[in-house]
């Protein structure tokens, strides 16, 4: 079962809207302040990547309910240039900012599950889930 709502990312302000959406859902589900902050940081990073590298895309927040376990899933999707070498961008120390942002490895750490699919020329899909403990 999942209920979904989305924010389109085109400019930097949309990142804030995506964060707000994520925070509202996280609060509703009963996540504590630390996890709320982790979830919004992850959303920020994914939205910022869309804004910077794909130009346009979507962040959707799903409420999950898996056999009584509640969770929140961030789904970032774009039709941008895609990522050439996924293994490389998932390595620590690779991000262009030189470790100032969380980057994709940071998103993986902040969340419980992380899935990435990307094809050069056709876009990137990232799904990251946090389960309520």
Partner 1 sequence: MEFREMMESKYRELLENYIREQSEQALYAGQKFSRKSIEHKVSPEEIVSLHKSLLIEMYPEVPESILHSFDILLEVMIGYGLAYREHQSLRHQQEELRSEMEIAANVQQTLLGTKVPVIQGLDIGAISVPAKHMNGDYFHFVQDENNCISVAIADVIGKGIPAALCMSMIKYAMDSLPENRMEPSGILENLNRVVEQNVDPSMFITMFYGMFDPESDQFYYASAGHEPGFYYNAEKKEYRDLNARGLLLGVEKRTKYRQYQMEIHPGDMIVLMSDGVTECRTEEGFIERETLIDYIDKYIDLSAQEIVNNIFKELEKLQHFQLRDDFTLIILKRDV
CB atoms within 10 A of CB 93: 8
* CB closer to partner 1 out of 6 and 86: 86
Nearest to 15 by CA among 36, 37, 38, 45: 45
> Taking CB under 5 A as the rule, does residue 40 contact Mg ion?
no
CB 58 within 8 A of CB 15: no
Which residue ranges make up the site for ligand ATP (CB under 6 A)? 45, 49-50, 53-54, 78, 80-83, 89, 95-97, 100-101, 103-104, 124
DSSP string, 44-88: HHHHHHIIIIISSEEEEEEEEEETTEEEEEEEEEE-SS--S-HHH
CB atoms within 10 A of CB 85: 11
Stretch that binds partner 1, among 5-13, 37-45, 46-54, 66-74 (CB under 8 A): 37-45
* CB closer to partner 1 out of 77 and 111: 111
> Taking CB under 5 A as the rule, does residue 49 contact Mg ion?
yes
Binding residue (CB under 8 A) for partner 1 from 2, 20, 85, 109: 109
Least Å from the CB of residue 95 to Mg ion: 6
Interacting residue ranges for Mg ion, rule: CB under 5 A: 49
């Amino acid at each position: 079962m999942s209920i979904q709502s989305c924010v389109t990312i085109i400019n930097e302000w949309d990142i804030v809207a995506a964060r707000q959406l994520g925070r509202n859902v996280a609060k509703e589900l009963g996540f504590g302040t630390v996890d709320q902050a982790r979830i919004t940081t992850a959303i920020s990073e994914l939205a910022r990547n869309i804004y910077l590298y794909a130009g346009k895309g979507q962040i959707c927040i799903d409420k999950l309910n898996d056999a009584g376990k509640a969770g929140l899933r961030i789904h970032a999707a774009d039709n941008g240039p895609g990522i050439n070498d996924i293994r490389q961008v998932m390595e620590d120390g690779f991000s262009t900012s030189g470790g100032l942002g969380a980057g994709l490895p940071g998103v993986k750490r902040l969340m419980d599950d992380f899935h990435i699919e990307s094809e050069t020329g056709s876009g990137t899909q990232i799904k990251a889930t946090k389960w309520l403990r």
